[in-house]
Amino acid sequence: MGYYNQNYPPNPHRKRKRRRGWLVPGMLGIIIGVLLVTVALPALPGSDLLPDQWTAQEETNNNDAYDGDGNNVNTNVNVDVSTQITDVVEEVTPAVVGVLNIQRQEDFWGSQEESNEAGTGSGVIYKVDDGTAFVVTNQHVVEGADTVEVVLADETRVDAEILGGDLFSDLAVLRMDGSEVEGVIDIGTSENIKVGEPAIAIGNPLGMMFSSSVTQGVISGTQRTIPQDFNQDGRPDWQAEVIQTDAAINPGNSGGALINISGQLIGINSMKINQAAVEGIGFAIPIDSAMPTIQELEETGEVTRPYLGVEIYSLDEVPQSEWDQTLNLPQDIDGGVYVWSVDPLSPADEVGMQQLDVITQLDGEPVMNMIDLRKILYQEKEIGDEVVVTYYRDGEQAEATIELDSQ
């Protein structure tokens, strides 16, 4: 039966029970209980007295955080500073060096010469053989140098000798004492790189003050061609094949390493577009096209190339409408290079090639663009070889056998 209170006054004759008798034992019990919780409970999770699920729940709760409404907002986070990129950079950095271009100049009175640093750049140690180290850098970094010094990652300076340089590829090879060298870079391949994959540039932007600087980005484009005008006459003298990246490449980075996420060399940093409205467009020489040049410079000090004697451009640089209206190409042609000019007395001139001829094959191999033509010409042919050139003129296919000369 429940208790029902109709607000009657309490019975004044009802005797109250005495309750003071429990006070002392109760207080002792509370004190003993507090001591047990304080001393014994923290040790229970490490013992076998609690079930496993209780222990796991306790550990989880200790790592949780809550907002003002009591909602869980945080969980246990493990932070590992050592990442793949930091490990790769640590391994590669000793193989990336500074290159000092030192030139002799007369003093004010013209009575004696002084040696001054005319410029700085970067380089990559790609080989050590029998105590001798070999460094690849850009030709424009060492151009005009009387002597060259290489600055290692630990700031040790070593005199170096220029074995050779090549204007068109913008590559140069140095030789120096390898006794102080701590690392050699691992050569990768640029053939299979993909747009969007990570790219890391290492070099010395703005001089040795910022030596071994690292910038990270992605591969922004492959098989780019950049026109270069060496004699400043307003007409391109060469089309440089480059890798495009948004990893920062600044003055002083030239000649440094562009590596992939595995720490392999995929390019030699070369240039950037330096315009106020442009940001994050840098270029590197693909290592696959650079290595034959590097080896030739190391062995002979110069590069000799087979020579057709034509200035060419890829068809993809021409509006599609011009393929039909100006070049008169058949509908089934989907690539090639067109001739813009023919050098007098060149091999191409001797067989009668003309402006606006469209080359589609060399010795039966398809030529879709300038890179295809140069790859066949420079990697598969030698000076003095004969090559069958298939081309279109006014919509008609023709062939010419050309004996390659030296450039």
Q: Is 13 a catalytic residue?
A: no
The one catalytic residue in 170, 246, 288, 357 is 170
| Identified catalytic residue from 122, 140, 270, 289 | 140
Please tell me the distance from the alpha carbon of residue 368 to that of residue 345, in angstroms, as a whole number: 27
Q: How far is CA 70 from CA 58, 66, 74, in A?
A: 17, 5, 12
Known catalytic residue: 170? yes
* Residue of 190, 212, 213, 254 marked active site: 254
Residue 275, judged by CB atoms within 10 A of its CB (0-12, 13-18, 19+), counts as exposed
Which residues are marked as active site?
A: 140, 170, 254
